[in-house]
Amino acid sequence: MDDLTKVLLPLLVSPVLGVIAALITTRYKLNQEHRSDREKEKEHIRLKLLNPLLVASEDLLGRMTDIKRRRKDSAKCGDMKRWFKDIKDKMWRDPGAFAFWANDEGYFAISTLYITAVYFHYASTIRRNFPFIELAYGGETALLSHLSQVRISVGGKFGIWEAMQDSLGAYLATDGGSVKNYRQFCEMIMSETDAAWLNRLIDFYRDVHMKLDDHLANIDRSLKELIAFLNTNLRIPVTEYWLTEASIAGLRQREVPPGMVDQLAALTVRGYMDEVGFVDALVGCIGQDWTDDYKPSILKCANRRLVKSAVPSRHESID
C-alpha cells in the first residue's frame, strides 16, 4: 500500500463507518420507541378494556349464580319476581321515591340490570372497535370466540337478543367515553323515552323464574370460560377459600350466631373453592339471609390461597 493510499483510505472509510454507526443508532432508537409505544398500547388496552371486562364478567357470573339460588326458594323467588315486575309496572314519576326504592328494596333488581348492561358495554366495545391485542394464550381470535359464546348463551328466543345486547351496552356510554354510573342508569329507567329501550332487559329478568335450567347453565359455563381465559392472559391469580377447623374456631370468637357456626362446620370437608362456588356453598349450608349478613366475617376467617388460572379446553366442563 503506497503512502497516498494510506492517507486517503482513512479519509474515505471514516465517514462511511460514521454513517453506518448513525444508521444503527437511529434504528435502535426507533425500535426502542416502537417497543415502548406497543407496551403503552398494551397497558392501555389492559386497563381500559380487558380488566373492566373481567370485573364485569365476574359481577355478572356472581349475580346469575345468586339468581339461580333464589329461583329454588319459593319466597325469595317471589320477591325477585315482584321487584322486576315493579320496575315495569310502576310509573316512577317521583325521582325521590324511586331513589329510595332503588337503593333499598329494589336494589337487587336495578343493580342486576345495571351489572348486565355494564357487561354488554365492555363486550360490545371490544367486538365493535376490536384493536390488535397481544395475548399470552389463544390470541384475539380466542377472545372473540369466548365473547361470542356468552353472547349466544344469553341470547336466543327467550333471552336478550344478540343485536340488542350491543345496543344495551352502547346506551351506557357517556359523551366523555366513560360508563354511566348506577345513578345515571336509574335516571334512564325513570325516563319515559329511555325506559322503553330497556324493556327486553327487564323482561328477561322479570321472567327469569320461567327460564330453562339449561339456558342459565349455558350462561354460567360461558362466563366461567371467559373469566378463566382473561385471568390467564392478564396473569391474575384466583382467590380460593376453605373453611377449616381453625376457621370455625375463629368464627366462634366473633359476634355471629352459634347455630350458624355449627352448621358451617359441615363445610370443612369441602376443601378450597373459588369465591362464587364458596358463597354458593355457604347459601346451601346456612341460607341466603345468614350468608348476606355474615359473609364478610366468614371470608375473614376462611383460609385463602392464590391459584393461577388455567384456561379450560372447549370440551372440558366447568362445574
At 179-217, the pLDDT tens digits run 999 999 999 998 888 888 999 999 999 998 888 889 999
Question: Looking at the structure, do residues 88 and 214 belong to the same domain, yes or no?
Answer: yes
In the three-class reduction of DSSP (H, G, I as helix; E, B as strand; rest coil), residue 307 is classed as: strand
Q: What is the mean pLDDT of residues 158-177?
A: 90
In the three-class reduction of DSSP (H, G, I as helix; E, B as strand; rest coil), residue 34 is classed as: helix
Question: Looking at the structure, do residues 201 and 266 belong to the same domain, yes or no?
Answer: no
Residue 83, C-alpha cell as written in the block? 321487584
Q: Which of 236, 266, 298 is the last residue of a domain?
A: 236
Question: Looking at the structure, do residues 168 and 225 belong to the same domain, yes or no?
Answer: yes
Contact by Cβ (8 Å): 154, 165: yes
Contact by Cβ (8 Å): 165, 124: yes
Residue 238 confidence class, pLDDT cut points 50, 70, 90: confident
What is d(CA 121, CA 104) in angstroms, rounded to the nearest whole number? 25
In a domain, 260, yes or no: yes
- Residue 278 has a pLDDT of 92
Q: Among 16-30, 82-96, 207-221, name the most confident range.
A: 207-221
In a domain, 41, yes or no: no
Residue 144 confidence class, pLDDT cut points 50, 70, 90: confident
Q: For the chain, how far is it from start to end, CA to CA, in angstroms? A: 83
Q: What is the mean pLDDT of residues 12-25?
A: 66
Question: Looking at the structure, do residues 81 and 187 belong to the same domain, yes or no?
Answer: yes
Question: Looking at the structure, do residues 66 and 144 belong to the same domain, yes or no?
Answer: yes
Question: Looking at the structure, do residues 82 and 57 belong to the same domain, yes or no?
Answer: yes
| pLDDT tops 60 at residue 9 | no
In a domain, 195, yes or no: yes
* Contacts of 318 by beta carbon, 8 Å cutoff, 6+ apart: 221, 224, 225, 228, 312
Question: Looking at the structure, do residues 87 and 192 belong to the same domain, yes or no?
Answer: yes
In a domain, 20, yes or no: no
177 phi-psi bin (left φ>0, alpha ψ -120 to 50, beta other): left
Question: Looking at the structure, do residues 140 and 88 belong to the same domain, yes or no?
Answer: yes
pLDDT digits (tens, 9 = 90+) for 40-90: 555 556 657 789 999 999 999 999 999 998 998 888 999 999 999 998 877
Residue 230 burial (C-beta neighbours within 10 Å; 0-12, 13-18, 19+): buried
| pLDDT tops 60 at residue 312 | no
Domain that holds residue 269: 238-319
Question: Looking at the structure, do residues 153 and 295 belong to the same domain, yes or no?
Answer: no
pTM, full prediction? 0.78
* Contacts of 246 by beta carbon, 8 Å cutoff, 6+ apart: 303
Q: If we measure between CA atoms, which residue out of 239, 258, 247 comes closest to residue 297?
A: 247
Residue 4 confidence class, pLDDT cut points 50, 70, 90: low
Question: Looking at the structure, do residues 85 and 144 belong to the same domain, yes or no?
Answer: yes
Tally the domains of the chain. 2
| Average pLDDT of the residues of the chain | 84
What is d(CA 273, CA 280) in angstroms, rounded to the nearest whole number? 10
| CA-based torsion, 278, 283, 289, 290: positive or negative | negative
Dihedral Cα 53, 55, 60, 66, nearest 10 deg: 170
Angle subtended at Cα 10 by Cα 8 and Cα 15, rounded to the nearest 5 degrees:
110
Question: Looking at the structure, do residues 132 and 271 belong to the same domain, yes or no?
Answer: no
Question: Looking at the structure, do residues 74 and 206 belong to the same domain, yes or no?
Answer: yes
